[in-house]
């Protein structure tokens, strides 16, 4: 299983104005697992207190390390992070949601989750729209993915990177695209702009040789996200 991949030439572009919308609604995540190991990920606000991310960012599955499996201990949420700068501060959460399809079996089709933060930080930064769209709309859509990759070091560590490309393929539970991503961008929003508004259509989670992919927002996924955000 590859989590993210550069496909051909790396076409990611750094976002330097992370205090502007929609980038401030995207958060860098510092994840502490059960065994104390730390990882990075990405999440995006859907309400004042709720972020959406990948399931494997909140619930470790099939790691091969029994002491690491299950719910992570905590996640530090840093919206709009720009390297060492945290323009909106940070908050730490230990309250998460995911679905049984991920927690019980690690099925990639269910790799999505929510982080509930203890304050209304999302009220400061705003949040994304999301929706269920038919293949006829998504097959020609230009998708955007912005997240916090782990391959950036030194002064660029903890910086936000973006790429966009047309949808490559659609499945019932996944959206595939040739957008460049690297580890750490798991959980990032894969969104399109429609009638001037941004709609997340998938939760970025995986990579491959030809395309990268995200968990598609279906009616069932949307129902869970809407329940978690309230």
Span 126-151, mean pLDDT? 96
- In this prediction, residues 112-119 reach a mean pLDDT of 99
Active-site residue, selected from the candidate residues 56, 93, 162, 204 = 56
Q: What is the pTM of this model?
A: 0.94
Question: Which is catalytic among the residues 28, 47, 164, 186?
Answer: 186
| Averaged pLDDT of the chain | 93
**Is 162 assigned a catalytic role?**
no
Domains of the chain from N-terminus onward: 13-18+128-222 (2.40.10.10), 23-125 (2.40.10.10)
Residue 56 among the catalytic residues: yes
pLDDT of residue 209: 59
> What single string gives the DSSP state of each residue in 129-189?
EE----HHHHTTPEEEEEE--TT--GGGTT-EEEEEEEEEEE-SSEEEE-----TT-TT-E
Per-residue model confidence as pLDDT tens digits over 57-102: 999 999 999 999 999 999 999 999 999 999 999 999 999 999 999 9
User: Residue 220 belongs to what H/E stretch?
Assistant: helix 219-229
The residue ranges of DSSP E strands in the chain, in sequence order, are: 13-15, 26-32, 38-45, 50-53, 59-60, 70-71, 74-79, 91-93, 95-98, 113-116, 129-130, 142-147, 160-170, 174-177, 189-194, 197-206, 212-216
Q: Report yes or no: 125 and 24 within 8 Å, Cβ to Cβ.
A: yes
């Amino acid at each position: 299983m590859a989590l993210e991949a550069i496909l051909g030439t790396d076409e990611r572009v750094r976002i330097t104005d992370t205090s502007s919308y929609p980038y401030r609604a995207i958060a860098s995540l510092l994840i502490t697992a059960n065994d104390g190991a730390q990882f990075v990920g990405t999440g995006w606000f859907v309400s004042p207190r709720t972020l959406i991310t990948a399931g494997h960012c909140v619930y470790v599955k099939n790691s091969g390390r029994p002491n690491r499996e299950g719910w992570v201990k905590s996640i530090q949420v840093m919206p709009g992070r720009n390297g060492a700068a945290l323009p909106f501060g940070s908050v730490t959460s230990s309250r998460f949601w995911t679905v049984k399809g991920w927690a019980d079996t690690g099925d990639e089709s269910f790799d999505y989750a929510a982080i509930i933060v203890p304050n209304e930080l999302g009220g400061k930064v705003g949040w994304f729209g999301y929706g269920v769209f038919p293949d006829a709309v998504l097959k020609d859509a230009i998708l955007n993915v912005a997240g916090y990759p782990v391959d950036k070091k030194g002064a660029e560590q903890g910086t936000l990177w973006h790429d966009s490309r047309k949808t490559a393929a659609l499945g019932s539970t996944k959206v595939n695209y040739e957008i460049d991503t690297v580890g750490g961008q798991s959980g990032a929003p894969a969104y399109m702009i429609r009638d001037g508004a941004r709609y997340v259509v998938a939760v970025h989670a995986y990579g491959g040789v030809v395309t990268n992919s995200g968990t598609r927002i279906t009616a069932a996924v949307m129902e869970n996200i809407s329940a978690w955000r309230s």
